[in-house]
Chains A and B, each alone.
Chain A
Amino acid sequence: MGEDGWITLVPASEIEDGTMLGFEIGDLHLALYHVGGQFHATDNICTHAFALLTDGWLEGHVIECPLHGGQFDVTTGAALCEPAECALKTWPVRVANGEVQVDLSSSLS
């Protein structure tokens, strides 16, 4: 991790539009989404129960948890339907030199 908290996850060319990838960084489980030409990142553990969202289904900007069908907006983290009630934490994302980076500085506090 750089001093400013940004880390590189993956070359942008390796994650097609409409797809997602999961990452484990220390104790953090992150989900990276490529939606409509934009990248977004959230926690990858559903706020309802312990399931990896990247094992679920991404349709547009909505991620559906594979365990109980809870849905979240990947652009805001907002929970969209039961049984999900709590929002996902979102992480700032940027593309620098063709690489997708996420800012984990808030995880250090």
Chain B
Amino acid sequence: MDTRYESAPREGSVKILTGAVDCDVHPASPSKAEILPYLDPYLAESVLQRGIESIESVHYPPKAPITVREDWRGPAGAGPALERMQAHLLDGMGVGTAILNPLMGVQLLMNEDMGAGFARGLNDFIAKEWLDRDDRLRASIVVPQQNPKLAAEEIERMAADRRFVSVLLLTASELPLGKRYYWPIYEAAEKHGLPIAIHAGSMYRHGTTGLGWAGSHSQDYAANGVNFQTTLTSLIIEGVFQIHPGLKVVLSESGITWLPAYLWRLDKGWHGLRMLTPWVTKMPREVVAEHVRFTTAPFDAPRNAETVAKIVDHIGNDDLFLFSTDYPHWQFDGDHAVPDGFSDDLIRKMMIDNPRATWSRLEESA
């Protein structure tokens, strides 16, 4: 055994702290029957007349291990899915608050109005069938990423429900997410104090990698990491945080262990070419420290506490970490949600302090 990459696992898993926030959790996507009552009449009629059975993104193939851990699978439907989440995560692992990031795939629709209609229906469904049923749940607002103006309108519509604590976007969009085209979304989010949760996923307008379409899900999933780097570069260099100084971004299911080398490279590139982007007045790593956070699942690193501790040291900023399980995606076995090698201080920060500093609405009661 190469001990750089493997070590005997710590006995027992790190206990979830009381009041811990799980910053990236996924509710089961609604079936056609479940979502229909929440769609406007025209869209509901369209769904029936056109025989639209489901909207599922291939990003998480239904039977892929990553999509649902085997012991977390169960009957379909929001009710049973919520019961499983309560048993596995909220009551089972002791998570105090879970932030739901729905991954129904409304962003993939080519028709902007249909995307907006499904987004409205999905948000109303989440409010009624999930948030109303367990006051430990919060959620991100799903928006029609196809049309930033309609997306901003949906943010305005849902922001009054204080249980919605952020705005969800998928990483791989039609344009890099820092482009001015998307700035209406950031303006609306900043206005309401809502972080942008950018989650692994794609609208499939482009190949799954920067070099084109890959041929297997393993390649697609690995490409997520690169897509997040591209997204982060775009947000920083296009000046999103100069225009919206109050905006926070949470990279969700992004990994974080790629961050050090990426920032070394971006800092160097920015420094040498800053005359091209004079509006970026701070080093990229300073921008990240101020505006960007990362959920911890998946934590892509060898299963070796000493190695993990070195990586955390390279990252160099405990404020960046936000605890997540990515439930029900299969990112860990048993209750081993926290990698060996995290210090007690880091665990406390990522479970308790950092989420509350990132999502201001978490301090409010349900």
Q: CB within 8 Å of B: which residues of A?
A: 55-57, 64-69
Contacts and interface: CB of A to CB of B under 8 A. Distances in A.
Given A56-B275, A69-B273, A69-B275, 11 more contacts: A55-B278, A57-B274, A64-B274, A64-B275, A65-B275, A66-B275, A66-B278, A67-B275, A68-B275, A69-B272, A69-B274
A26 to B, nearest CB: 28
A105 B217 CA distance: 73
Size category of the B interface is: under 10
Interface in B266-311: 272-275, 278
Interface of B: 272-275, 278
Contacts of A65: 275
Give the most central of B273, B274, B275, B278: most A CB within 10 Å.
B275
Contacts of A67: 275
Contacts, number: 14
Contacts of A69: 272-275
A56 B273 CA distance: 12
B284 to A, nearest CB: 15
Main secondary structure of the interface of A (DSSP, over half): loop
9 contacts: A55-B278, A56-B275, A64-B275, A65-B275, A66-B275, A67-B275, A69-B272, A69-B273, A69-B275
Nearest to A68: B275
Contacts of B278: 55, 66
A55 B274 CA distance: 12
6 cross-chain pairs, A with B, having the tightest CB-CB distances, nearest first:
A69-B275, A66-B275, A66-B278, A67-B275, A68-B275, A57-B274
B89 to A, nearest CB: 48
Nearest to A55: B278
Nearest to A70: B275
A88 B273 CA distance: 22
A91 B272 CA distance: 29
A64 B274 CA distance: 10
A68 B276 CA distance: 9
Contacts of A66: 275, 278
B286 to A, nearest CB: 14
A21 B275 CA distance: 19
Contacts of A56: 275
Contacts of A68: 275
A56 to B, nearest CB: 8
Contacts of B273: 69
Contacts of A55: 278
Contacts of B274: 57, 64, 69
A65 B273 CA distance: 11
Nearest to A69: B275
Contacts of A64: 274-275
B267 to A, nearest CB: 13
A108 B87 CA distance: 85
A98 B272 CA distance: 37
Nearest to A67: B275
A8 to B, nearest CB: 29
A79 B72 CA distance: 66
